[in-house]
Amino acid sequence: MKKVLVTGAAGFIGSCFARRLFRERDDVSIVVLDKLTYAGNLANLEPLAGSPRYRFVKGDIADPEAVRDAMEGCDTVLNFAAETHVDRSLQGAAHFLDTDIKGVFVLLEEARRIGVEKFIQISTDEVYGQILEGEFKETDPLNPRNPYSAAKCGGDRLAYSYWASYGVPVIVTRASNNYGPYHYPEKVIPLFITNAIDDLPLPLYGDGRNVRDWLHVEDHAAGLIFLLEHGKAGETYNIGGGNEVMNVDLTRRILELLGKPETLIRPVADRPGHDRRYALNTDKLKALGWAPTVAFDKGLEDTVKWFVEHESWWRPIKERDPEFKAWYAKNYAERLAAPQTPA
Ligand code: NAD
Ligand code: DAU
């Protein structure tokens, strides 16, 4: 039986991947290593709970002992664990460096020591920086422009260096913006959906004309399972949804799906260094045989429905988690008190 270590699997994407792998492959056992930061939630892994094919280890990927324990006997590693929110990185980057660089180093050292068969480092399209026209290819230079993406870039290249220097079978993936169920409500789609449900303002940064390429989280998970079989060590693969949407249009679509008025849109002070547009060329992965399957309109509609039907998942975070409340006040209080001219 294959034994796969999935780090950060109590979070949004890692849990989707773990649930999907668990569902689709009964010849695989899964070890999860997760620190359970504010973004980690064991409820996301409920379908695996109690199975003999699943073990949960609470620990930090930057802690060599925790990593040694969790990786024991594993032949495959996927590293999802990271500090992931750009806005938080702008207010303090120390945790980002600890997890997104040093954590990757500790995992790579252990993977090298025990000789794993495959190590997938989940990187991000943000390592390329912004692109005003065209699409980024895997061979394009990296130019991260905020502390989160700079830290992820460090992890991305460190992972590659362990392939180039020591032959650790590393694959690096760079995905575009994910959306779907279990998305932590600090990120724009779940924040705006849940605020709109409660008739709270939707704080749209700057002129609202920044563009993101949305990838359904199930398509991302499917792409990673595909790469477990078809990906080649030493290679980097872009994983994009091909759904470029301007933030203001995204916001309007969310309001329309919920039957809420556009007066909820509140233009606020921009994110410093706000990347204008991301766009990925995914020909390399498509040539291998993978393509996204979820149309954005349907994916967004289903996501809105999921949040409407799963208040028991997000209300405790937004209403009772003091960490979330503190974050919301820190990032938004001033902004909402001084709205900008509408987009
Ligand atoms: P998330 O914030 O929802 O979850 C992160 C998980 O990592 C949490 O369960 C958290 O507890 C865990 N974690 C954090 N620090 C840890 C540490 N030191 N040790 C062990 N566990 C730790 O993140 P996500 O949105 O699911 O992103 C997962 C990965 O995908 C990240 O590496 C991120 O950079 C990458 N990515 C995300 C997106 C996106 O749109 N969300 C797009 C491309 C790439
Ligand atoms: O592109 C991949 C990246 O996508 C991942 O690597 C990151 O982990 C993930 O968080 C995401 O980063 P973004 O910064 O693009 O996501 P976020 O949801 O924070 O913001 C999406 C867009 O919405 C961005 O242009 C900023 C804008 N925004 C965001 C928030 C939270 C707002 O206008 N208002 C907000 O309150």
In a domain, 39, yes or no: yes
Over residues 316-337, the mean pLDDT reads 96
User: Cβ atoms within 10 A of the Cβ of 337, count?
Assistant: 8
d(CA 193, ligand 2 centre) in Å: 14
Over residues 28-35, the mean pLDDT reads 98
In a domain, 311, yes or no: no
Number of domains in the chain: 1
Instruction: Identify which ligand lies nearest to the alpha carbon of 186.
Output: 2
CATH of the domain at 16: 3.40.50.720
**Ligand 1 binding residues, C-beta < 6 A:** 7-8, 10-14, 33-37, 39-40, 60-62, 80-84, 99, 103, 122, 124, 152, 175, 177-178, 184
In a domain, 335, yes or no: no
Residue 66 sits in which domain range? 2-179+216-239
In a domain, 125, yes or no: yes
Over residues 167-194, the mean pLDDT reads 98
Distance CA 192, CA 304 (A): 10
Distance CA 152, CA 17 (A): 20
What pLDDT is recorded for position 1?
85
In a domain, 50, yes or no: yes
Instruction: Identify which ligand lies nearest to the alpha carbon of 44.
Output: 1
What pLDDT is recorded for position 111?
98
User: Cβ atoms within 10 A of the Cβ of 243, count?
Assistant: 21
In a domain, 150, yes or no: yes
Q: Are residues 200 and 191 in contact, defined by beta-carbon separation less than 8 angstroms?
A: no
Catalytic residues: 125-126, 148
Instruction: Name the closest-CA residue to atom 6, ligand 2.
Output: 124
Of 84, 98, 119, 149, best ligand 1 pocket probe by most atoms within 8 Å of the beta carbon: 84
In a domain, 244, yes or no: no
In a domain, 312, yes or no: no
Q: What is the pLDDT of residues 220-271, one digit of tens each?
A: 999 999 999 999 999 999 999 999 999 999 999 999 999 999 999 999 999 9
d(CA 85, ligand 2 centre) in Å: 7
Q: Are residues 324 and 317 in contact, defined by beta-carbon separation less than 8 angstroms?
A: yes
What pLDDT is recorded for position 342?
58
Over residues 16-23, the mean pLDDT reads 98
Strands 211-216 and 244-246: antiparallel
**Ligand 2 binding residues, C-beta < 6 A:** 84-87, 124-126, 176-177, 187-188, 191, 203-205, 210, 212, 247, 271, 278
What pLDDT is recorded for position 340?
79
Instruction: Identify which ligand lies nearest to the alpha carbon of 96.
Output: 1
What pLDDT is recorded for position 96?
98
* Cβ neighbours for 259, distance < 8 A, ≥ 6 positions apart: none
What pLDDT is recorded for position 146?
98
